[in-house]
Structure 1
């Protein structure tokens, strides 16, 4: 039996990739692209930035493949390259924000607000295909839990090294020694960064994750809440909408800076703008950031074409809506695999 026949496919692809076979390299990294992209999103808070970082990381990996000596797994080496690429991006661009990070909530509806384009906004994450459960036995967070809006927003308040330490250790299950090698630092520094990162997240994250809430409610009830919210908005039914909201509900709409806190302020905005000033709504249910989401489409009349307007991510508490983040822009619906236009 020939040596070539006995060589495992991954080893054969690795050898071929080192010899310049880009198709072999593509086969090597294909099983890891999804999780590497999610890692870049967690680091950077933007699918666009994650796209760029992953592309740059894979170019670096392709050019530096001869330096991969096999002392660690290929997965670990690719995470090293991706993490360092993201750290470079963090150093260049800083952190991304949601409206709640910029100032106090508005008491009354702000009409005709202009987008705040100079802010680097946090964006939603299309989670189709993202695995359930933790990435490994040592991970403290589930993979979908670690793309929830509250989690990703909290991570943005960490320094680059703290983000990397927390995500590599608590989300992906790498050891402190492995992370020290990845980041070219000491284990003591990794543990220090990890401790500081955990303190920040403890202060900013809710006690109950969305994944735990969604499991408690069950898929049918979660979909029912999302559908009821979307239908109430579509029909202009203020009574049905207010019945779905917690007393302390919040609603924000990046790239608009204004946001609303409390049922009264949220309903003041809802009645003043989407329920009355917008001619016709349609919707499609979806998910984003491991949470229920609704893509809203706006038309000039009920029988006119409707164009994607926003992707609204719902945060639930018990069986009510406690948070709404409407990411304005057709690109968010398209990124979630939905059409840009409903005829």
Structure 2
């Protein structure tokens, strides 16, 4: 990556670069967008690089970077509408027909996915890693968007990153009492919007389920595909407002308006702390082009939800570091 302001990032002080991934994770939780998170981290690095000579070790570099990143995120969030997922906006599912695609919103309206490798630690305490995975789940990131920006920062710093109240108060230049009060209000809001997904890890049965998902989708065997779903499984497809519910409607969609996905290839990955597949649809001149990222939720041996983030603007896969074409 290269920045006009900084030049090649490998010329930055290593003390700054070693925190890039965790800062990206923090900014992603705050902003709900991989694009905005990358911009915020880049701006954080610019400000830190410019101020490093005057920093003089007044506090730990990590704490100093989080202070800068928090201010950058708060500036970005000033006056913005919250991002959401389609199921948060429409109370009832749509019919599985082409006309359901009529409602479309700009990218800035939606929560965006992020690959685990962009935001989660590669090693560390297993318990901390589990918390980190749950804290980038789509439901949790969407719930965070209901919080005022400073409450959002407090909750992430205290409950995800495990900062002490005194440390958060210092970062936000406020009192411990104010931090504790903000945390209580944030917890109450999250409880109301149901933003705490149950923690779980993949087992051998789940991995077998994912292998069958890939096989059925690539063969476009819809009968086999829907057998992997819960009866009331749901799917949404940002940037469209529509969402679907139930095996029958998902099958009808895939054999109707979604039939252009026949012949696709999938690449398995992990996004938002859960299994995911990058989908490439057949191109007219041969090969396959990026179409969407399927982020899956699994419960009781079946898939309960598919978030299909479509690559209609041709930017999502590039931002996620996924191949932009397959031969």
Instruction: Please indicate, yes or no, whether the TM-score normalized by the shorter chain is above 0.5.
Output: yes
Q: TM-score w.r.t. structure 1 length?
A: 0.83
In structure 2, the residue corresponding to 1:61 is in which secondary structure?
helix
1:249 paired with 2:233, answer yes
CA distance in 1, matches of 2:215, 2:315: 22
Distance 1:72 1:135 in 2: 25
1:283 pairs with 2:291: no
1:111 aligns with 2:127: no
1:313 corresponds to 2:286 = no
Rounded Cα–Cα distance in structure 2 between residues aligned with 1:48 and 1:336: 9
Report the CA distance between 1:119 and its aligned residue.
4.9
| Structure 1 range deviating more: 153-162 or 113-122 | 113-122
Separation of aligned partners in 1, 2:129 and 2:179: 16
Gaps of 5+ in 1: 1-21
Q: How many residues are aligned here? A: 313
Q: CA 1:222–1:239 in structure 2 vs 1: closer, same or farther (change >3 Å)? A: same
Is this contact kept in 2: 1:135–1:143, CA < 8 A?
no
Q: Which residue of 1 aligns with 2:310?
A: 328
Q: Is the 8 A contact 2:35 2:319 kept in 1?
A: no
Counterpart of 1:208? 198
The DSSP-based 3-state class of the residue aligned with 2:307 is strand
Q: Distance in 2 between matches of 1:141 and 1:158?
A: 23
> What aligned pairs does 1:159-308 form with structure 2 within 5 A after superposition?
159-203=148-192, 204-206=194-196, 208-209=198-199, 212-214=200-202, 217-218=203-204, 221-274=205-258, 276-300=259-283, 304-308=286-290
Q: Of 146, 153, 159, which aligns to 1:157?
A: 146
TM-score normalised by structure 2 residue count = 0.86
Residue 78 to residue 316, structure 1, CA distance change in 2 (3 Å): same
Asked if residue 76 in structure 1 is aligned to residue 76 in structure 2, the reply is: no
The answer to whether the 8 A contact 2:266-2:279 is kept is: yes
Task: Tell whether the 8 Å contact from 1:155 to 1:163 is kept in structure 2 after alignment.
Answer: yes
Which range moved further: 177-186 or 116-125? 116-125
Secondary structure of the 1:144 match is: helix
Q: 1:65 offset after TM fit, Å?
A: 3.1
Residue 151 (structure 1) shift = 1.4
Instruction: State which drifts further: 23-32 or 290-299.
Output: 23-32
Contact 1:99–1:258, Cα closer than 8 Å, also in 2: yes
Provide the rounded CA distance (Å) in 2 between the counterparts of 1:247 and 1:52. Answer: 40
Q: Which residue of 1 aligns with 2:27?
A: 40
Distance change (3 Å), C-alpha of 1:136 and 1:25: farther
| Stretches (4+) displaced over 4 A | 22-25, 132-137
- C-alpha spacing 1:312/1:23, structure 2 compared with 1 (3 Å): closer
CA deviation vs aligned residue, 1:193-234 (integer Å, no higher than 9, x gap): 11111222234135512xx142xx24xx33332232232222
On the 8 A contact 1:134/1:143 being kept in 2, the answer is no
Distance 1:136 1:305 in 2: 40
Give 1:51's aligned residue. Answer: 38
Alpha-carbon spacing, 1:270–1:206, altered in 2? closer, same or farther (3 Å): farther
Distance 1:196 1:248, change over 3 A: farther
Distance in 1 of aligned mates of 2:18 and 2:107: 37
- Aligned residues of 1:37 and 1:50 also touching (Cα < 8 A): yes
1:309 deviates by 0.4
Identify which of structures 1 and 2 has the higher relative contact order when contacts are C-alpha pairs closer than 8 Å and 6+ apart: 2
